[in-house]
Structure 1
Amino acid sequence: MSQPGVLLDRDGTIIVDSGYVGSVDRVEFIDGSIEAIAALNRAGIPVAVVTNQAGVARGYYGIADVEQVHKHMIAEMARHGAHVDLWLFCPYHPDGIVQAFARRSADRKPGPGMALAAAEALDLDLAKSWVVGDSPSDVGLARAVGAKPLHVGPAGSAVDNVDTFADLAAAVRFILGDGELAMVTRDERPVKFPAARFHRADSYGGAYVNELARAFATVDLEQVSRAAKILNDAHDRDAAIFACGNGGSASIANHLQCDHLKGVRNGTGVTARVLSLSTNVELFSAIANDLGYEHVFSYQLQSQARPGDVLITISSSGRSPNIVRAIDWAVANGMHTISLTGFAGGAARRRAHVCLHVDSTNYGIVEDAHQACMHLLAQYVRQSRMTPDAVASQTF
């Protein structure tokens, strides 16, 4: 079934309209616009840019220049966790001086062409969609295709009988529901998923997958490489590897023991010494009851760990006292430490030797990414100890 979407003007809505912006050096994002687009992404709402670029017809710049500006905008948005699903522009104008583009076009706003193209490409129901822009031509486009117009701009620029907002951030708050979206400043990370209520599981599923992909892409691959080196070195030295976590993270720690003890050995012959500190409920509860929950991991390390061993901690917040205490003890006693964190990362992110940090504030997203990190490290270690023919013939 067709879905609602948001069609955005470019100049004056996403970036500052300084007059025929045809080069990267003139691109200046309006405060909050990238975060607003990211919020639409997290809500699973398709976003298309529809922009008149008469500067091409007037000879101010060429098609390649428009595309270069859009490539720059795409890269900058990606750095802040935002993306546009479809970029459309109209280079035509009847008063142009470049012959190839000097004509009328149904694509030129307020003509319906770009909106109809977006609807076909993204499977949009235009009657349930919004067009957001700073000019009467944007309002005209919305009315031409039966969409809902939203005007953005400074005080005094309002269009009659159209909801007007100071900027794109305010318009997106309106689209997603007043009070349901906490917009963030340009220097902050995306902080909320979901940002608004979903009414269909398939829409939520699509948004969840997109957020998971975005969050997993924030993991520093250099840190992954360093973690893999520590693990491989530990197996070479017959050092012990300990893992620990609370709640859902405890299941990842337990799974890690399985993947290294059983999985890595399959096809390599490596008899690894890997232990989860989250498994023994009798010992775990005895320590918690007699000494306090903050000691459940460090107390076990004091008896079992030796200098040169490895500690892997899994904590979405990175702030759990038992996790931080375990890292501190391990570092002080000559162990190598790897932390898996999310949210802001907490002390675990700062104090471990290596940190695989997932930039998300959704526990499910963080834990899914941590599970993927655990799997990829174990599989990398396993395949690195096999011949090319064995890798090709084995199932991973």
Structure 2
Amino acid sequence: MGQAGVLLDRDGTIIVDHGYVGTVDRVEFIEGAIEAIAELNRAGIPVAVVTNQSGVARGLYGIEDVQQVHKHMIAELARQGAHIDLWLFCPYHPDGTVESFARISADRKPAAGMALAAAETLDLDLSASWVVGDSSTDIGLARSVGACPVHIGTPDTAQPDVTSFPDLTAAVGFILEQHAADAGNGNRRPRFPAHRFDRADAYGGEYVTELSRAFATVDLAQLDRAAEILLAAHERDAAVFACGNGGSASIANHLQCDHVKGVRVGTDLTTRVFSLSTNVELFSAIANDIGYDAVFEYQLQSQAREGDVLIAISSSGRSPNIVRALEWANANGLSTIALTGFEGEPSRSLATVSIHVDTRNYGVIEDAHQACMHLLAQYVRQSRMAETEVAAHVF
């Protein structure tokens, strides 16, 4: 599985924030910052820089200037035995004056883009990683990917759960203590597959074993709560909405079929269940005109009402359109159910009920989610049938 890493902000964390630092002569390292990075290097913890550089969009400097600043920083770090494993920056801002960079970007903190790119490149487990910075956008980035936020500067009383330190040196000391403690726990979940297989039957056997192990991590009490919410919604004629991306979209669509068609067979229920992933005309119009992050939230704003239910399906739990849908639903009186895998955050914490599959294999997660979808629909159906009727029907 992925390893723990550190995502560092640049200005105000590593170098002094003089405001739009776009030239080498304005680079001033904060005292102790280079040695702190070297400490992370010596501990074998991957380090990435993730920095918003809206000065590019505002026309204050160019992409090449940012790269020159980073080349200078690389040289200075190397002189003192430190290095950064990955440099990432976002040059976009919706209020920019340079047309090619004047737009919303999924890479701009607190959006998750740069963190996800770092995780893919460095093989990071973001739930075991830290985001360090001096801004609320850094805290927001950490929350968006389920990482631990570490704040540099005066503690924010509005966010008492976020640990603050006066500088990077103190922050790295805290991280190294946590890293050592985590390493001693030995609770890392296994990766599947962990090696190459030469036969499909052998792979199949291991796949089934991993699926069984992963499904055993599902909290059955959460399934019971989800069933209660769905049955109560059907009984009061509330609407149930489902959404997901990719393979999760197919589960959302299948869920609509199982409840609208399947649940009616042999019962008195006429359910109102809708997949927000299925109408390609509406879906693509919203994505094109407003943004992909809004494709589910926008539909809910028009169709959902207080007392309805949202089922959000996301293997990672961090898809921005899923997170926005859950946040809107929570704010507008809907009950929410999340089906997640991997670390599952932030969707896992946002939902009223969280059905979480603890594995890092997309196929296994989606298979488990599909099973949960089927068993919930079948449970709701049989609960509205007479005892003698259950065995007489095919499920």
Q: TM-score, normalised by structure 2?
A: 0.53
1:184-333 map, 5 Å:
186-333=185-332
**Deviations for 1:148-198, whole angstroms, at most 9, x for unmatched residues?**
xxxxxxxxxxxxxxxxxxxxxxxxxxxxxxxxxxxx864433141000111
Query: What is the aligned residue count?
Result: 214
- Corresponding residue number in structure 1 for 2:158: none
One-letter code of the match for 2:257?
A: C
Q: Secondary structure at the match of 1:393?
A: coil
- Corresponding residue number in structure 1 for 2:350: 351
Rounded Cα–Cα distance in structure 2 between residues aligned with 1:185 and 1:223: 30
Q: CA RMSD in A?
A: 1.3
Q: 1:369 to 1:395 in 2, by over 3 A?
A: same
Q: Secondary structure at the match of 1:214?
A: helix
How far apart are 1:248 and its partner, in Å? 0.2
How far apart are 1:377 and its partner, in Å? 0.2
How far apart are 1:330 and its partner, in Å? 0.1
Q: Secondary structure at the match of 2:373?
A: helix
Rounded Cα–Cα distance in structure 1 between residues aligned with 2:184 and 2:208: 25
**Deviations for 1:245-265, whole angstroms, at most 9, x for unmatched residues?**
000000000000000000000
Rounded Cα–Cα distance in structure 2 between residues aligned with 1:340 and 1:328: 15
- Corresponding residue number in structure 2 for 1:381: 380
**Deviations for 1:255-289, whole angstroms, at most 9, x for unmatched residues?**
00000000000000311000000000000000000
Q: Which runs of 5+ in 2 are unaligned?
A: 1-182
Q: Secondary structure at the match of 1:338?
A: strand
One-letter code of the match for 2:225?
A: R
Q: TM-score, normalised by structure 1?
A: 0.53
Q: Secondary structure at the match of 1:312?
A: strand
- Corresponding residue number in structure 2 for 1:341: 340
Q: Which has the larger radius of gyration?
A: 1
Q: Which runs of 5+ in 1 are unaligned?
A: 1-183
How far apart are 1:200 and its partner, in Å? 1.0
One-letter code of the match for 2:326?
A: I
One-letter code of the match for 1:286?
A: A
User: Aligned residues: percent identity?
Assistant: 72
Q: Secondary structure at the match of 2:391?
A: helix
Q: 1:372 to 1:185 in 2, by over 3 A?
A: farther
Whether the aligned pair in 1 keeps the contact of 2:214 and 2:358 (CA below 8 Å) is yes
1:118-129 map, 5 Å:
none
Rounded Cα–Cα distance in structure 1 between residues aligned with 2:386 and 2:269: 14
One-letter code of the match for 1:329?
A: W
One-letter code of the match for 1:362?
A: N
- Corresponding residue number in structure 2 for 1:371: 370
Q: Secondary structure at the match of 1:369?
A: helix
